[in-house]
């Protein structure tokens, strides 16, 4: 969470600005002193509330910075029936995965369970298509959760030219 110090700095700046306005206002001394005390108490409260949010999954409906992400890799998932689907997503261009929560949907839960079984049998990761779009219950055109397809086998023509066949696991280098 590299953004937290910057968000907190903006919060402190705004609280200090409001306290400055209150001090400069032609009010009674006790009101101006109260404004300074309230601003001083607001700053640690803002920091504690922001740091407490770090461990909580973010609702996908509140994600606006990555809204246009075409897909994400599902690093982990937990489903609580009739409550929510909790996801740990690795987004493209991000170094660390992030926690998100989807509202409970039986069709999505079935899709996720099926994709997890397929991915385990193939040794491929589960992916989520358009993770931050609205509800997908009515859209049956393409699945939201899917396992990566099996990688293609080497071309037969190249194998017949004489060289040995070399099979690689996806993501490994040679």
DSSP string, 69-136: --EEEEEEEEEETTTEEEEEEE-TT-SS-EEEEEE--HHHHHHHHHHHHHHHHHT--EEEESTTSS--
Distance from C-alpha of 125 to C-alpha of 45, rounded to nearest angstrom: 40
Q: Give the C-alpha distances (Å, rounded to integers) separating 104 from 57, 59, 112, 135.
A: 14, 12, 12, 10
Q: Has domain 58-147 been given CATH number 1.10.8?
A: no
- The answer, yes or no, to whether residue 113 has pLDDT greater than 90, is yes
Number of Cβ within 10 Å of residue 19's Cβ equals 19
- Residue 150, token pair as written in the block: 């099996």
- Domain boundaries, given as residue ranges, for the chain: 4-53, 58-147
As a whole number, mean pLDDT of residues 20-31 equals 85
Q: Which residues contact 113 (CB under 8 A, 6 or more apart)?
A: 79
Residue 68: pLDDT band (50, 70, 90) is confident
- The answer, yes or no, to whether residue 71 has pLDDT greater than 70, is yes
pLDDT at residue 123 in the model: 83
Percent of the chain with pLDDT over 70: 80
pLDDT at residue 101 in the model: 93
Window from 16-20, 51-55, 70-74 with minimum mean pLDDT: 51-55
- The answer, yes or no, to whether residue 10 has pLDDT greater than 70, is yes
As a whole number, mean pLDDT of residues 110-137 equals 84
- The answer, yes or no, to whether residue 136 has pLDDT greater than 70, is no
Signed CA dihedral, 22, 25, 27, 30: sign only: positive
As a whole number, mean pLDDT of residues 118-135 equals 84
- The answer, yes or no, to whether residue 170 has pLDDT greater than 70, is no
Which residues on neighbouring strands pair with residue 73, listed in sequence order? 90, 127
């Amino acid at each position: 969470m590299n953004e937290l110090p910057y968000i907190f700095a903006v919060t402190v700046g705004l609280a200090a600005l409001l306290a400055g306005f209150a001090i400069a206002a032609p009010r009674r001394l006790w009101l101006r002193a109260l404004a300074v005390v309230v601003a001083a108490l607001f700053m640690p409260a803002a920091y504690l509330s922001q740091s407490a949010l770090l461990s909580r999954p973010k609702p996908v409906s509140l994600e606006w910075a990555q809204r246009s992400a075409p897909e994400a890799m599902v690093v982990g998932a937990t489903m609580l029936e009739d409550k929510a689907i909790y996801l740990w997503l690795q987004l493209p261009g991000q170094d660390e995965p992030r926690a998100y929560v989807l509202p409970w949907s039986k069709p999505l839960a079935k899709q996720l369970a099926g994709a997890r079984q397929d991915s385990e049998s193939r040794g491929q990761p589960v992916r989520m298509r358009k993770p931050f779009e609205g509800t997908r219950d009515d859209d049956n055109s393409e699945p939201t959760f899917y396992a990566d397809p099996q990688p293609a086998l080497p071309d037969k023509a190249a194998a017949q030219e004489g060289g040995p066949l070399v099979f690689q696991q996806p993501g490994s280098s040679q």
